[in-house]
Amino acid sequence: MGGRSRPPAAIAPHRPADWPGARAPSALALAGLLAGSADAEAVLQLQRSAGNRAVAGALARRGGGPEATVRLPRVPGVEHPVAASLARPDVRGRVPTFADLKAVYQDKELRIPESVVKAAVTQLLGRMAREKRLKSADSVADIVARIFPAPGVISEAEFTKALDVADRTAIYRSVLDADTTVRGADRAKLRAAMKAAAALIRSIEGDDLGLKAVFGAEAPVAKANYARARAALAEVSRDMATKVSTDYNLDDPEVSLGGWASHGARHMHLLVEIVKVIDAKESKITLIHEAAHLADPSVDDHGYYGTPNFEALGEDVKVGNAGHYEELPRRKLGTSSYSGLTFTPGVLKGGGAVTWEDTIRRESSEYLRKAWDAAVDTHTWLRGVRRAFLRRDRRPFEDQRALILEVSQLMDLTVHRQVPAKARVTPLDVTLTESVARGVMLVGTVAEREPVEHPYGPWLDPRDEDVAARHILIDSAVSRYGRLLGDPVRDRALLDWLVAHYRSLP
């Protein structure tokens, strides 16, 4: 697949001769660049290589492995998808049901240390408290102390005081409802929305001027992809029982996932509000985005709608990016952020050229997008392992035991603290991975507001300025969010691990 994360080579990134407001990299950035080896240049080369893999436009798939799915974040209207999710009333952190939590806490087979369970609950409630999602106004430490008043004791009354246990957006109910077929009552509405989206696509196929304005010289390729997307919608509409799934457990809004699609499997997964067609325009846009992925395997994700430099990317990137197939439908629906604009590579909406700062922001955004995508993959994968266990099938766990234990340590799950012979993914672990995925998404939101700063220092080779600048921006966002794992070094290690495992998790 083609594409790149920087402007075309002919458009030189702008670096001011003087650096007002410049500062040295943070301690964490410096550690990330220099730790682990006495040879600073060797480490810098390693970091440069890792950074390039993290932000490369060409997204390699594993040879011979299962086809990767491509994900769409929730995109209400024209707002940035991640920022907009914060204002949604149905988006909040969650904890297991009291019954599930009690079962994990008192399980005599797993023998998870009490301190581990308490720490996990503290993490979950802490992330919820940051978003003012707890019913109780007391400190998290006080709430946890009352829920676990004595060794081996857990209080349902105190749990209920802290949380609205009837609220499914606060309490994680069932992994079985999180990835399931579309219910009969919703199929007719979704089928009608697919038909309307297909009609919208057909009108775009005849809009040669619009195609040229967005895709430039690649307009003929885009036109053919739109036609195949329209055919894909008809295909999945005819066989909704096997080709479309949704999430009635509300995992998707929790992690800000709008949907995903697999070209090879000919399958589309949709947010439940898209299935229910709560907003007709949003449903059409989401369906067209996912249908673009089904249209051709070359159509991947290289930057979601409205992300940095979206309108200024090269034509080869745009024609292979599902987000750009949203623009013409949005213009017709009146929800475009770029109405009437001719997309010109290297030129931003206001007419200015893409600067060095714009490029760093784009690369940082792509790094965090991939971290979020991999975090969602981790949650989906371990949720599936839990589902298999409920069917008394331990094979998925045993087949991936080593990787599950690695993730458990990275994300502070309980699996690596259980009795090895009895170890399994518990409901508490499922909510922890969901919460981490949400946390990564929120770090991305914070990063949107972080300034791009110029690193300097006698130790820094000018060639590594980009790497250090990305480190500074991302580290600042991680620190400002403050609720990922509670340790900036571990937070960054987790993000790096997620990016390294982008599109390679089971």
pLDDT tens profile 238-252: 999 999 999 887 778
- Output the pLDDT for position 32: 40
Q: Is residue 62 part of a domain?
A: no
Query: Would 464 be classed as within a structural domain?
Result: yes
Report strand pairing: 257-262 vs 70-73: antiparallel
Alpha-carbon Rg for the chain in angstroms: 23
214 belongs to a structural domain:
yes
The C-alpha atoms of residue 460 and residue 146 are separated, in whole angstroms, by 51
Residue 5 lies in a domain: no
Q: Provide CB contacts within 8 A for 319, sequence distance 6+.
A: 215, 218, 221, 222, 225
What is the pLDDT at residue 165? Answer: 81
- Cα separation of 266 and 270, whole Å? 13
pLDDT at 69: 64
User: Which residue numbers in the chain have pLDDT < 50?
Assistant: 1-66, 75-93
327 contacts 338 by C-beta, under 8 angstroms: yes
- Provide the β-strand partners of residue 70: 261
Query: Are 390 and 175 in contact, with CB atoms under 8 Å apart?
Result: yes
145 and 217 share one domain: no
Given 150, 169, 188, the domain boundary residue is 169
Residue 83 lies in a domain: no
Taking CA atoms, 195 is separated from 101, 272, 336, 344, 360, in Å, by 44, 18, 21, 32, 40
Residues 327 and 361 in one domain: no
Secondary structure letter of residue 131 according to DSSP:
T
Query: What is the structure's pLDDT at 258?
Result: 84
Residues 182 and 310 in one domain: yes
Q: Final residue of a domain: which of 169, 186, 204?
A: 169
Q: Is residue 71 a part of any domain in this protein?
A: no
Residue 10 belongs to some domain of the structure: no
In a shared domain, residues 158 and 211: no
Same domain flag for 490 and 368: yes
pLDDT at residue number 94: 66
What letter does residue 268 receive in the DSSP assignment?
Answer: E
340, two tokens: 């009437």
**What is the predicted pLDDT for the residue at 46?**
30
Q: What is the pLDDT, as a whole number, of residue 44?
A: 32
Is residue 257 within 8 A of residue 71, CB to CB? The reply is yes
Whether residues 165 and 254 fall in one domain: no
Residues 191 and 164 both lie in one domain: no
User: Final residue of a domain: which of 268, 301, 333?
Assistant: 333
Q: Around 149, how many Cα atoms within 13 Å sit in the side-chain half-sphere? A: 7
- pLDDT for the residue numbered 68: 53
The structural domain count of the chain equals: 3
**Token output for 6:** 């920087």
Same domain, 377 and 312: no
CATH, residue 236: 3.40.390.10
Cα separation, 115 vs 98, whole angstroms: 18
How does pLDDT run across 259-278, given as a tens digit for each residue?
Answer: 899 999 999 999 999 999 99
**DSSP letter for each residue of 49-97:** HHHHHHH-SS-PPPTTSPPPPEEEE---TTS-HHHHHTT-TT----EE-
Same domain flag for 397 and 480: yes
Location of structure tokens 């690649």: 218
Is 90 contained in some domain?
no
Cα–Cα distance measured from residue 121 to residue 141, given in angstroms and rounded to the nearest whole number: 10
Domain that includes residue 312, residue range? 176-333
Longest dimension (CA), the chain: 71
Structural tokens at position 92: 């909040």
Please indicate, yes or no, whether residues 443 and 368 belong to a single structural domain of this protein: yes
428 and 101 in contact (C-beta within 8 Å)?
yes
Tell me, what's the pLDDT at 447? 95
| Residue 304 and residue 272 share a domain | yes
Q: Are residues 307 and 359 in the same domain?
A: no
Is the distance from CB of 78 to CB of 253 less than 8 angstroms? no
Cα 493 to Cα 90, 234, 441: the distances in Å are 30, 43, 16
